[in-house]
Amino acid sequence: MSQSLTIEQNLSQQLNQFQLQSLNILALNNHELHEFLQKEFTENPMLDYQPASNAPSFSHNQFKEPSEDHRSEIKSPNTKSKKEFFMEQLNSAQYTKQQWKIIEYMIDCLDDDGLLNISLEEISNISGFPFTDCEKCHKDLLLLEPAGVFSRDLKECLKIQLERKNLFDVFIEQIIDNHLEDIAFGHVSTISKRLHISTAEVQNYIQLIQSLNPHPYCGPSEEKAEYITPDIIIYEQDEMWKIKLNDEWVGNYSLNDYYLRMMNQTNDPELKEYFLQKYQRCSWIISSIEQRKETMLKLSEAIFEWQKEFFIHKQRLKPMTMQDIANDAKLHVSTVSRASKGKYIQYPFGTISFKELFSNSYSFGKQDATAMDIKKEIYSIIKQENPDKPHSDSKIVQILKKHNIQISRRAVAKYRNELGIKCTYDRKRRCL
């Protein structure tokens, strides 16, 4: 067997720091970009700023000329009640009527953070329910999402979250049980001495604990109007459809002539180096903004061509993936994903997020189905159900499978909620 040494030449493309930062700028929506540029303006003397004469003004989802309308009203979705949120995670068939009442009672006892600040003994004594049933129901409620709900105190809440992540060990248990106050006061050395572990290990445990959520449940808030600033505006002018980036209100950023002259005239090498660094960063920012504008317009034009009937005639959305648009716009799919993040399009019939325009198509008989199609199917299934025995979300998943639609129970719950349809428990209760 002969052995030989060969040299292979491989080419690899790596993103440099400026390229990565350009991608980060692409991911910013208009408000985030404005905040980023304002921060740079205060820190970089090379960056000059001329504020726009027309600041963003509020509108109520009614289309106007693009120069007059910068913001749209988006109403927050209807939030679920606390009882609905938790009960839809349970199967009522697994409980007796009495146990189901205990579960309802425990949900009513939850505080705003999702903690059960009352002992099982008290619940049993006050309600008259058997302690053993209270204990069984509570164990099941501790398994619900989000992790930590129905814990009886903060310590139990944190431990459950760690157990779900498989990060629970004897040291972090002792820290939670005995040293939360030391964490609050920064007594790292005290914890280190008591547990006989290094301060570095203690810091790692503290960082892990601080990443947990002490308020696992955020209760429903009252519905209110929220105002967003569309990033793209689609409008008709002179019988032509046009697409523009809604960024005039951000203002104009350019190189500062005064500091440019200072950089070129100074003989101080340290000062010259300082200005040169600021100049390079400023040039990169301006270049990245132009590149962002070009990418956003290219992306929006491809989306408009794909969804013309939706934007112009308010027809249903066509199934469209990010890969479809990436191919049409000649962009990488990761660039499409970044450019779409957290951004909105305003068009004659309202305002919609980029995210809502994309859908991974589901198999629906012989044709593709969008989220809108699936919602219609869910609505039809629920409309035809027996009101005395309404379908659970899991049952709806099974029915959809028979129609060649493969989605999860969580997706069913999400679509049902967006349709304004109550959970199984509330649908049944309403019909009694």
Q: What is the CATH number of the domain that holds 397?
A: 1.10.10.60
Q: Is residue 276 part of a domain?
A: yes
Residue 31 and residue 138 share a domain: no
Q: For the chain, how many structural domains are there in total?
A: 3
178 is in which domain, residue-wise? Answer: 82-210
Res 362: pLDDT: 44
Report the sign of the C-alpha dihedral through residues 312, 313, 316, 319, in that order. Answer: negative
Q: Which residue pairs from 196-203 have beta carbons closer than 8 angstroms and sit at least 24 positions apart in sequence?
A: 197/171, 201/171, 202/175
Q: What is the per-residue pLDDT across 162-221, written as a single tens digit (0 to 9) for each?
A: 888 888 888 899 999 999 888 877 788 889 889 988 888 888 888 888 888 888 886 444
| Domain C-terminal end among 357, 390, 412 | 357
Residue 399 and residue 375 share a domain: yes
What is the block-wise mean pLDDT of the chain (432 residues), using blocks of 10 residues? 43 53 84 87 86 49 39 47 83 87 88 84 86 92 90 90 85 90 82 87 86 74 55 91 87 87 90 91 91 94 93 85 90 88 87 80 46 80 87 89 83 80 72 36
Whether 116 contacts 138, CB under 8 Å: yes
| Domain C-terminal end among 357, 388, 417 | 357
Residue 203 and residue 251 share a domain: no
Residue 376 and residue 350 share a domain: no
Q: Per the structure block, which two tokens stand in for 378?
A: 């869910």
Q: Is residue 122 part of a domain?
A: yes
Residue 317 and residue 251 share a domain: yes
Q: Is residue 11 part of a domain?
A: no
| Domain C-terminal end among 313, 330, 357 | 357
Residue 255 and residue 188 share a domain: no
Residue 372 and residue 353 share a domain: no
Residue 291 and residue 180 share a domain: no
Q: Is residue 1 part of a domain?
A: no
Residue 31 and residue 70 share a domain: yes
Collect all residues with Cβ–Cβ distance below 8 Å to 426 and sequence separation of at least 6. 83, 84
Residue 196 and residue 233 share a domain: no
Compute how many other C-beta atoms are within 10 angstroms of the C-beta atom of residue 318.
16
Residue 251 and residue 280 share a domain: yes
Predicted model pTM? 0.49
Residue 352 and residue 290 share a domain: yes
Q: Is residue 219 part of a domain?
A: no
Crossing angle, helix 170-178 and helix 188-195, to 10 degrees?
Answer: 130
